[in-house]
Structure 1
Amino acid sequence: MFGLIGIALTFAMVFGGYILAGGKLGVILHSLPYEMMMIGGAAVGSFLLSNETSVLKHTAAGLGRALKGPKWNEQDHQDVLSLLFQLLRMARAAPVEIEEHIENPESSSIFSSYPKIAADHNAVTLIADTLRSASLNYDDPYQVEEMLARRIALMNEEAMHPPHALQNMADALPALGIVAAVLGVIKTMSAIDQPPEILGGMIGGALVGTFLGVFLAYGLVAPFAQRLSAVTKQDQSFYDVIKSVLVAGLHQHATNLCIEVGRQASPEHVRPSFVSVETALREIKRAA
């Protein structure tokens, strides 16, 4: 919602100020389709040239995420703590029973209780692979922590490709605007014998290219890249919570303490309260 308001405010202030200052939109509107074709087309072409197919797909989806906001909210952080609580209790009380849940998460009654988490491939595989390693006696907490840190770092690096790709496009747009403006100047110079009023319109049209490149770069694409980067980083912190709980479990801490370690690892604005987590865990114990 705030993203759409920001876009509307940007356009209103820039073009509203131009009109109130006595500017005429006719020159801009006349040149806009051609300048947009050159600048936008070149930007999209260079974007396709410099990025892999996976990055292109994730960037397209990321534009919606930038407007919608982070995927994981406070309830999701509480749900993953509840999920891990059940799995850790079972792993300690009934090591044989835990195998069916980590080998077939899609049919697990525990995972299915939290459909949003179960639908996230990264979260499920992170949990299942770590618990599987522990069941195979690969239970050195420091080695597991290092393994999880490398895995999450790789996930973070891959997740940040779309924001970096958008930022690279933003950095290129002003230069592409200059290219379009130079072409407009070349066109103007070829008509140097025309009256001043015609030459003025042609020069004004050429300058639209410079304006458009800078405006798209700093008014739209760069803010989208920044917003997507912030959303991605917040979503990736969800996996740090999972890592914290699993590593604490391998240190053989009490299950409730493992969950508290994970709760403290959640970002403050999506961190569930101690009371709400304790209430959820109490209900799980009562149901068991």
Structure 2
Amino acid sequence: MLNGIGLVVILVCVFGSFLISGGNLMVILHALPHEMMAIAGAAIGAFILGNSLPTAKKAWKGVMRVFKGSRWTENDYRDLLAVMFTLLSTFRKGGATAIERHLDVPDESTIFSRYPRLLADKGLIEFICDYLRMMTVNFEDPHQIAEAMENDIERHHAEELLPQHSLQMMADGLPALGIVAAVLGVIKTMSSIDQPTEVLGAMIGGALVGTFLGVLLAYCLVGPIASKLHQVIDADFKPYSIVKTAIIAHAQGLPTQVAIELARRMTPSSYAPSFQELETALDQAKDEMYATAV
């Protein structure tokens, strides 16, 4: 919704100001198809040439992610804290034997199955299970766990950012591609130098449409999309930091509820549950643990 509003504002203000100032929109519309073909075609071709097929596919999916936004909601963060509380409590009370069955097949776990939206995030569930499993084999040094988790998060984050970097490179190159299209238009104009002034003026105006489109696409479309994708990727990686904080605090021997409170403080402020809301969610998790145990 917000993305659509932004796009409408751009188009209305840019072309509206042109019309209000007395500009002839037909000059732009006449030149638009072939100028767009040159600029967009060169940009897409360079994008394909400079990126692997998996990166190109992720970039397309990334554009879709921009319009969908981050998948994480306030309820999801609260559920994540609750599931971490349940897992760590189960681990502390029953040891490796009690928690391994939940880690081996998360889809069949009575803990994970209570939170289907979290369970759908396979990467995060795998991250949680892998590091809890490492702790079951006496991976006792919290500093080693912290370093391993941080390196893992950085690696995955860098991989997720590859499509964003490729889109940003496209945005950076679009103004130059607009100049390429404009130069081609000037070459065409110079080959028709014997034409009347009004014809040459229209041809030069059409050539300058290339520069205009290159700058417009770079700074009002592709660049903002790349920037928004970076924000969405960063937002989708916040849960990993929350999980890391909870597990490291647990490995340091802190009480489970304290570990979860530290993790809550890593939650983005606009989505973080209040202390009371978290208490309510954890009480409900305790009741479900007890019901399952009985």
TM-score between the two structures when normalised by the length of structure 1: 0.98
1:39 aligns with 2:47: no
Kindly provide the amino acid, as one letter, of the partner of residue 191 in structure 2: S
**TM superposition shift of 1:192:** 0.7
Residue 117 of structure 2 corresponds to 116
Separation in 1, partners of 2:265, 2:204 = 60
**TM superposition shift of 1:172:** 0.3
> Any residues of structure 2 matched to 1:1-288 within 5 Å, and which?
1-95=1-95, 96-287=97-288, 288=290
Separation in 2, partners of 1:55, 1:13 = 34
Kindly provide the amino acid, as one letter, of the partner of residue 118 in structure 1: L
Maintained 8 Å contact 1:133/1:139: no
Kindly provide the amino acid, as one letter, of the partner of residue 27 in structure 1: V
- Provide the secondary structure at the position in 2 that maps to 1:265: coil
Kindly provide the amino acid, as one letter, of the partner of residue 219 in structure 2: Y
Kindly provide the amino acid, as one letter, of the partner of residue 241 in structure 2: D
**TM superposition shift of 1:76:** 0.9
Which has the larger displacement, 66-75 or 197-206? 66-75
- Provide the secondary structure at the position in 1 that maps to 2:111: helix
Give CA deviations for 1:165-212 in whole Å, capped at 9, x if unaligned: 111101000000000000000001111111111111111111110001
Separation in 2, partners of 1:223, 1:216 = 10
Gaps of 5+ in 1: none
Kindly provide the amino acid, as one letter, of the partner of residue 151 in structure 1: D
**TM superposition shift of 1:286:** 2.2
Alpha-carbon RMSD:
1.0
**TM superposition shift of 1:94:** 1.6
Kindly provide the amino acid, as one letter, of the partner of residue 54 in structure 2: S
Which has the larger displacement, 65-74 or 232-241? 65-74
Gaps of 5+ in 2: none
TM-score between the two structures when normalised by the length of structure 2: 0.96
Give CA deviations for 1:14-66 in whole Å, capped at 9, x if unaligned: 00000111111111111100000000000011111111222222211221221
Separation in 2, partners of 1:197, 1:118 = 66
Deviating runs (4+, > 4 A) in structure 1? none
